[in-house]
Structure 1
Amino acid sequence: MNEYDWMAERFEAHRGHLRAVAYRMLGSLSEADDAVQEAWLKLTRADTSDVANLGGWLTTVVGRVCLDMLRARKARREEPLGVHVPEPIISRADGPDPEQEAILADSVGLALLVVLEHLAPAERLAFVLHDTFAVPFEEIGPILGRSPAAAKQLASRARRRVRGAEPISDGDLASQRAVVEAFLTAARGGDLEGLLAVLDPDVVARPDAGPVVHGANALASTAIAFGRLARSAKLALVNGVPGLIASDGERLRSVMAFTIRGGKVTALDILVDPDRLARLDISPLVQ
């Protein structure tokens, strides 16, 4: 085995972890893969002969690449009409495939990724690397160009914001699935009372195009108005929890991620942007 092949083998051993870090940072698998590829290019150009912990070195490299990508995204993004819904990981209703499972093991539900979108890039990096992947602040500080103490303050600030806004779902996937199925059945049948029965009175629906919908009555009316789309919808796992996807033949029309508390839908994050939907990998659904 030559040196290049040896290096590639070592990198591949860390690829799954690096994708999980980058997805948590960027909320997009396609961008996460770009960040991981950039880390590979940096590895091929670097002298790592004195690197004792290659996994840690690669994690900080991916973190720095993601930080640059987040800053560039923030600089070019115009104020959106709706909420920026991260790109979800979609799996068959009976469970994710092994590759998806590896990413989701270190990832989060779509609703929390929406919350992370509101953090400043430096806050997001400090929070994700430290709180999720246990990277010490002594290594996070240099990525940000700040002291370890300053990096710790950024993570603490992000933690407070996340805890104050984090939507938490019931832990039982079977009960969540029953609620999503009841929602779908009622939407297909134009059953207003059936929808109200599974919606929390203060439910919030956050589409990535269009205004946020507040309250059970408003959301139920909207769901009935789009009953035709509901007829093409089916159950899937969205970031590891029950959700809905609607398609037109082989083309995705929407992805819906549910937050469910006490048997009621408390939040609904909806991705409908056709360009972003086209980038999603739905091959697990047709295998």
Structure 2
Amino acid sequence: MAPRLIKRKEATVDSVVSAPSVPPQPAPAAAPQPQPQPRAAAPVLWCQNLTKAYGPAVALDRFTVSVPAGRVVGLLGPNGSGKTTLLKMVAGVSHPTAGEVRVAGLPVGPDSKALVSYLPERPYFSRSMRVREMLAYFADFYPDFDTALAHEMLGRLGVDPTSVCASLSKGTVEKVQLTLVMARHAALYLLDEPIGGVDPAARDYILSTIIRAYRPQSTIILSTHLVRDVETVLDDFILLRYGQMLLHAPVAYVREKGTTLDAFFREEFRC
């Protein structure tokens, strides 16, 4: 027998029995969203495969490093190892053949140069200028230059601001130029042989006070041959030879071996 189709009567409003009221249920709680994590600060100095060639001669060969804030780093190596070449490229006065370099995450340019205070190996001021004129020049050129601090440093180093540069000894000129560089409130200081001609009596003050104490949150890259003198203020060191990095490590690395950085350096580069 064929199934019968049953036609249901449309329910009217009066025939609908009201369902018992149900209290509104709270909406399900939203799943907790991951909180954005603070972005890690960019290294103060970052180099990747940085290379500088002068024709067939390679002065710096695929140099790679990352240096955070608040470190004093010794850049060590014999003559011709690429120390000055590296500092010049970070400062932006020389251009790499290949590779990248960044300062606080910025490519080398006007913005990065504003964060860098650079002391070249050789004097660069006119010998006819007076020391106070050099201070005024820096104060006019660099918004972060601290004139009061510069005068304090010069006073401690025994330098007369009225002196003409031509009348100053090589060591005193170095004191003046180091004062000019360190009196800036920079993120990165690049010092190329800053105490080579300075008398031993002034070295302790320069190293322990100017370099270590004045800029604890900044990074200093210090190129020098005077390893024994600077060892006490260094946090890390970089060894260069023939343009290549041999080692980047904390000074504690060599102390754990029962030796000093000076002895380690002499053994590594013994002729």
The TM-score normalised by the length of structure 2 is: 0.30
The TM-score normalised by the length of structure 1 is: 0.29
RCO greater where, 1 or 2, for CA within 8 Å and sep 6 or more? 2
Hey, which of these two has a bigger chunk of helix by percent? 1
Tell which structure's C-alpha radius of gyration is larger: 2
